Structure 1
Amino acid sequence: MPKAIHPIAGALALLMIVTFWISTVITEVFGSPGAVVAVKSAIPWAFLLLIPALAAAGGSGIRLAKGGAGGLAGEKRRRMPLIAANGLIVLVPAALFLAAKARAGDFDGAFYAVQAVELIAGAVNITLLGLNMRDGLRMTGRLPKPTPSSKPEQETPT
């Protein structure tokens, strides 16, 4: 069962975060204040699906790795605390703050400062989750595994 749940939950979580990020950028650049309010108000509600998807991906990944700490599974495992901390410490509070400010029509400096932090933190999580997806695809053979570097060793000057 974890073998089926893991890729679905991980892909769903990544897709949702990418959707949040793109929706935010598009509405901030091209949208009306009403569109910004709609996007910022919808994101916290989407946490009801995102957080269980991330938990399912993490839990099933741990089970699939069977405690292994090396190789690609180890790389994925080392990224997960960063993803979780970024989400819980930065992204969730920022989304709640921005939703409240947007609903109040309070698009001030604090709103845009937190928005900038949220976009940066979101890009970090997209990158980390994307790396985890890439490594998962490599582990299953759907992508080729990286080959050792063939560049010659450089001599150190004496």
Structure 2
Amino acid sequence: MAHPLSRLHRVAGMAAGLLILTFLTVSALSELNGDPDMIRLAKTAIAWGLVALVPTLMITGVSGMRLGKGWKGPTIAAKKRRMTFIAANGILVLIPSALALAWLARHSETGAAFAAIQTVEFLAGATNLVLIGLNARDGIAISRRRTVRTA
């Protein structure tokens, strides 16, 4: 039977990944559509979506650290490095970008600055999505190995 913290970690990680994927999809669709009202709505929704994403990522990170406490090995080390980058990328790039884009869209400032920030946000968001996916892959592999050992 899986540890309850393991379930929480898995659900929070999946929710974070889905939220990031949703943010990227909504951004791309609104940009492709080009309707200023749709862009404004999308950017405002994403900014408010941070209220769900930030705690979800925090739960994923804290539960992962608690689950992996005392564990060693290259896979654990890689997961920890990725999580550090994911957190830094979110705090230093994605949150400020989302808030800046929401502000710019609200004030109909969708010119060069908006495009530059949007490009950075897409790249940073896609990077975090890939890193979360790699951590999920490694977490599944670790879980399988632990299940085989205890069976």
If the length of structure 1 is used for normalisation, what is the TM-score?
0.86
Could you tell me which amino acid in structure 1 is paired with residue 84 of structure 2?
A: P
Over residues 84-129 of structure 1, what are the superposed CA-to-partner deviations in whole Å (9 max), with x where a residue is unaligned? 0100000000000000000111111100111001101111101111
Greater share of residues in helix: 2
**CA RMSD of superposed structures (Å):** 1.3
Query: Is residue 67 of structure 1 aligned with residue 70 of structure 2?
Result: yes
Aligned position for 1:151: none
Q: Residue 3 of structure 1: CA displacement? A: 1.4
Confirm or deny that 1:131 pairs with 2:134. yes
What is the CA–CA distance in structure 2 between the aligned matches of 1:9 and 1:91, rounded to whole Å? 18
**Residue number among 24, 29, 33 corresponding to 2:27 in the alignment:** 24
TM-score, with normalisation over the residues of structure 2?
0.89
Pairs within 5 Å for 1:68-107: 68-107=71-110
| Runs (4+) off by over 4 Å | none
Which stretch has the larger CA shift, 12-21 or 25-34? 25-34
Q: Does the CA-based 8 Å contact 1:18-1:126 persist in structure 2? A: yes
What is the distance in 2 between the residues matched to 1:118 and 1:3?
Answer: 30
The amino acid that maps onto 1:82 is: F
Letter in 2 for 1:73: I
Q: Name 2:149's counterpart in structure 1.
A: none
Identity between Structure 1 and Structure 2 (%): 44
Q: Secondary structure at the match of 1:37?
A: helix
Look up the SS of the partner of 1:67 in the other structure.
coil
Farther-moved stretch of structure 1 (37-46 vs 66-75): 66-75
The counterpart of 1:10, out of the listed 10, 13, 16, is 13
Aligned residue pair count? 142
User: What letter is aligned with 1:42?
Assistant: A
Match of 1:150 in 2: none
Gaps of 5+ in 1: 143-158
Gaps of 5+ in 2: 146-151
